[in-house]
Amino acid sequence: MSTINALDHEKNARWAAVDDYVWTSLYSTPTPLLSSLSAALDHQHASGLPDIAVSRLQGAFLAQQTALQNRKHVLEVGTLGGYSTIWLASAAPKVQVVTVDIEAKHTEVARHSVTQAGFAERVEFITAPGVEALSKLRDEVKAGKRERFDFVFIDADKAGSADYVNLSLDMVVPGACIIVDNVVRRGRTADAEVAKTDVNVAGSRKVIEAVGRNPRLEASVLQTVGEKNYDGMLICRVVD
């Protein structure tokens, strides 16, 4: 296979225009949730956090999946400014979210936005490195001190994604859904050569291949374009 030129897959005006068109068509009625989501992005930006939250329609997709699957106990790895956290919590009044981030600043920004959105009582924030946080959560689940999770959204450091899937597998219910963000990386994930020098591509290949080898998981990858770069999500179902 020839080497993929990342510049072929940078942000694209038409993809962004379609996201704008669809978003304004589907979400034209103002609601408190939409105001809170918009405010969360503003607060994240004003706080100097990176502009790498899920897109508006990807957020809507996560909430829709959580609702369609009738989920109740959500684990999010990678809080950032709480934008996806708010979407996940919005899926249904019974949804409880535990969200983990290594950066105290992220937790602080997200806590503010989640509180403004009215979800503070249904969101638990943990500030710690992913493996440390998930190991502790797993121990608490195994000790019966905490409910098993039924929906997991992994959107943190890409090198850690495979570890986060593995740790999640020890604390989910049978039939749980595990989604890993950003596994396509402008198509660069298909290039084994790129993985030698790009830790994010290496991490994405590692998690896809590990999921492929794991008999407890069935999965697919949905490639996505839109207002963000060409990327994609790994969507897994825990078979047992």
Q: Binding to ligand DHB by residue 155, rule CB under 6 A?
A: yes
Cα–Cα distance, 228 to 213 (Å, whole number): 30
Please state whether 19 falls in left (phi above 0), alpha (psi between -120 and 50) or beta.
Answer: alpha
**Binding-site member from 155, 163, 191, 198 for Mg ion (CB under 5 A):** 155
Best CA proximity match to 58, nearest among 217, 240, 223, 237: 223
Do 193 and 9 form a contact (C-beta atoms < 8 A)? no
Could you say whether residue 99 binds Mg ion (CB under 5 A)?
no
Asked if 113 interacts with Mg ion (CB under 5 A), we say: no
Q: Which positions from 43 to 72 touch ligand DHB by CB under 6 A, shown as an x/- string? A: ---------x--------------------
Residue type for 188, please? R
DSSP letter, residue 24: H
Nearer to ligand DHB, 66 or 204 (CB): 204
Among 66, 79, 161, 182, binds ligand DHB (CB under 6 A): 182
Residue from the set 19, 101, 163, 181 that interacts with ligand DHB by CB under 6 A: 181
Give the nearest residue (CB) to Mg ion. 181
Give the integer Cα–Cα distance in Å for 185 and 232.
Answer: 7
Look up tokens 């706080």; give the residue.
47
- From the list ligand DHB, Mg ion, none, partner contacted by residue 76 (C-beta under 5 to 8 A by kind): none
Residue 178 tokens read as 């595990």
CB of 181 to ligand DHB, least distance (A): 5
Determine the Cα–Cα distance for residues 174 and 183; give it in Å rounded to an integer.
24
Interface with ligand DHB (CB under 6 A), residue total 5
Minimum separation from the CB atom of position 157 to ligand DHB (A) = 8
Q: Which two tokens stand for residue 129?
A: 């490195």
Residues that bind ligand DHB (CB under 6 A): 52, 155, 181-182, 200
